[in-house]
Amino acid sequence: MLIKVPESEFKALLDPDKVIADIKEHLSPWIALVQDVTNYGSNLIPRCFSSSERSLKDAVVLAILLRQAVAMLDGVGILLANGATHAANLQMRALFEASVYIDWILLNDSERKADYYYVHNLRRKRIWALRTQPGSPESQEFITMMNKAGVQNR
């Protein structure tokens, strides 16, 4: 144990049992709705993808972005059901961002925008992979940046 004399929570600030009871009393229908929409979305993705042209646009919109949106909505539901309302904001933000990308791609010139999205992610992953290669310019740049931020290289 880190603390020799364990403490219990200060109920005026942190009472998880009361929070969960309040959520069950007041938010149960909404949490059930989030779960229903999540379940629907998880079944919608393979149905849409199997009936699509299976182009890069379909893969990006359905298999990447819509899947991310469904996963984030699932996270929102789980966090809300367990009283972590503030923590759910992170998942809600990621859900919003995925929806913005979906709208942006589907608005017009979808194939080209899906290409942009996909290539950007490949480049981002490549840069991170290069940062792990000792002696590469990307690794040196990353080490310099981290040192300036006060994080020492180990």
Segments making up each domain of the chain, as ranges: 27-107, 108-154
Whole-structure pTM value: 0.80
Q: Give the pLDDT score at 13.
A: 83
Exposure pattern of 63-78 as b/e (b: 16+ CB <10 Å)? bbbbbbbbbbbbbbbb
Q: Give the pLDDT score at 87.
A: 94
- Report CA dihedral (75, 80, 82, 83) to the nearest 10 degrees: 140
Amino acid at position 133, single letter: Q
Residues in the chain, pLDDT under 50: none
Q: Give the pLDDT score at 154.
A: 61
Q: Give the pLDDT score at 1.
A: 60
Q: Give the pLDDT score at 7.
A: 81
